């Protein structure tokens, strides 16, 4: 761009993991235009993790599945965004609603992914082919590079809030884990085929407790409550953490010695929150982030159900435990975290 923008809007109203990847875009945009106001539009789930982010001037929340579900509400929000007079909009969410909101801002420069109505809603368009650009962070950086080709990537980053940090410290003290190495396990996922077997997580947890004299915290939402109960029944001393607010989870992950999890947003939250070591397990999905040391990914290999789009099937065609996730051994994961 010829002139530096004064006010920038980044749109990402998608899932938790997607918003975490957009923190890389936030950092990259600040690196290019350090004096610009950075505004970010997210769904409520994104607000929980971006609140207090040091680079965000204003956080806008779009209740697209609640009070702002109607077309009239979308139009009203678009008019409010237009009043902010953004110079640049970077739309990281390839949905029709997000594209319409980008158009309604009336910003002179609007960058988004190619697709339905993109030519109408955006002034600049970039490809969004997962087979070509599998890295979530790289796809977002491409939006910025459409305007500034030399823009550099930035690490994932969320703010760990002070009250959440105090909660995490007290939680560990209450469970006699204040001075012990902590292993956090993120055992859930929306897809059954993306879950490492509970029995493997339990074996890993027992080994951590025995060989490290450590503490194990098992993290998940209400949907994972049964899985967490199964793991804790197999592992004496494992601590369940079910449906805790995301800021608390981020603070606890930041204090963990190591984090092991499936390909799901909370695992990537560990990286963004500053956990010393995060290991993410991939089976029916491609590794979609360039892991910087000391973080790493373990991939079972290309499973039989993996298509060009980077995601396999919701249910394994062989039935039972997902075949590809079963190929990742406990020993392989232990070797990644045992030096932590």
The candidate with the shortest Cα–Cα distance to 185, out of 144, 214, 210, is 214
Residues 6+ apart with CB under 8 A from 34: none
Dihedrals phi, psi of 71, to nearest 5 degrees: -65, -35
Task: Determine the average pLDDT of the residues in 80-107.
Answer: 96
DSSP string, 213-281: --EEEEEE-GGGHHHHHHHHHHSTT-EEEES--HHHHHHHHHH-SEEEEESSHHHHHHHHHT-S-EEEE
Express each pLDDT in 226-244 by its tens digit: 999 999 999 999 999 999 9
Express each pLDDT in 96-115 by its tens digit: 999 999 999 999 999 999 99
Rounded CA separation 306/324 (Å): 10
Domains located in the chain, CATH noted: 7-145 (3.40.50.2000), 162-337 (3.40.50.2000)
Is the pLDDT confidence value at 154 over 90? yes
Rounded CA separation 145/310 (Å): 23
Express each pLDDT in 178-229 by its tens digit: 789 999 999 998 888 889 999 999 999 999 999 999 999 999 999 999 999 9
Q: SS3 of 120, please?
A: helix
Q: Lowest-confidence range among 200-204, 260-264, 324-328, 332-336?
A: 324-328
The candidate with the shortest Cα–Cα distance to 273, out of 79, 49, 123, 99, is 49
pTM of the model: 0.91
User: Which class for 173: exposed (0-12), middle (13-18), buried (19 or more C-beta within 10 A)?
Assistant: exposed
Express each pLDDT in 285-323 by its tens digit: 777 788 888 999 998 866 566 654 556 667 777 666 777
């Amino acid at each position: 761009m010829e002139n530096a923008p004064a006010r920038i809007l980044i749109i990402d109203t998608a899932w938790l993991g997607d918003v975490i990847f957009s923190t890389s875009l936030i950092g990259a945009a600040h690196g290019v235009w350090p004096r610009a106001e950075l505004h970010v539009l997210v769904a409520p789930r994104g607000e929980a993790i971006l609140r207090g982010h040091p680079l965000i001037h204003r956080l806008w929340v779009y209740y697209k599945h609640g009070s702002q579900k109607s077309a009239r509400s979308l139009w009203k929000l678009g008019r409010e965004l237009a009043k902010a007079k953004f110079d640049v909009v970077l739309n990281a969410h390839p949905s029709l609603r997000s594209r319409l909101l980008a158009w309604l801002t009336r910003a002179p420069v609007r960058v988004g992914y190619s697709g339905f109505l993109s030519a109408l809603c955006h002034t600049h368009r970039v490809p969004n082919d997962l087979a070509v650009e599998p890295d979530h962070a790289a796809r977002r950086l491409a939006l910025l590079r459409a305007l500034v080709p030399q823009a550099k990537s930035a690490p994932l980053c969320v703010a760990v809030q002070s009250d959440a940090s105090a909660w995490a410290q007290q939680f560990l003290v209450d469970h006699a884990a204040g001075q012990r190495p902590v292993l956090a396990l993120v055992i859930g996922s929306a897809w059954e085929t993306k879950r490492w077997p509970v029995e493997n997580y339990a074996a890993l947890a027992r080994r951590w407790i025995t060989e490290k004299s450590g503490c194990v915290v098992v993290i998940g939402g209400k949907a994972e409550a049964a899985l967490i109960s199964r793991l804790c029944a197999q592992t004496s001393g494992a601590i369940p953490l079910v449906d805790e607010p995301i800021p608390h989870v981020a603070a606890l992950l930041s204090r963990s010695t190591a984090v092991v999890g499936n390909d799901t947003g909370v695992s990537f939250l560990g990286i963004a929150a500053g956990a010393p070591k995060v290991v993410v397990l991939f089976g029916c999905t491609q590794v979609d982030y360039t892991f910087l040391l000391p973080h790493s990914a373990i991939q079972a290999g290309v499973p039989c159900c993996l298509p060009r789009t980077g995601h396999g099937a919701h249910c394994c065609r062989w039935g039972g435990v997902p075949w590809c996730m079963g190929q990742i051994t406990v020993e392989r994961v232990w070797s990644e975290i045992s030096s932590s």
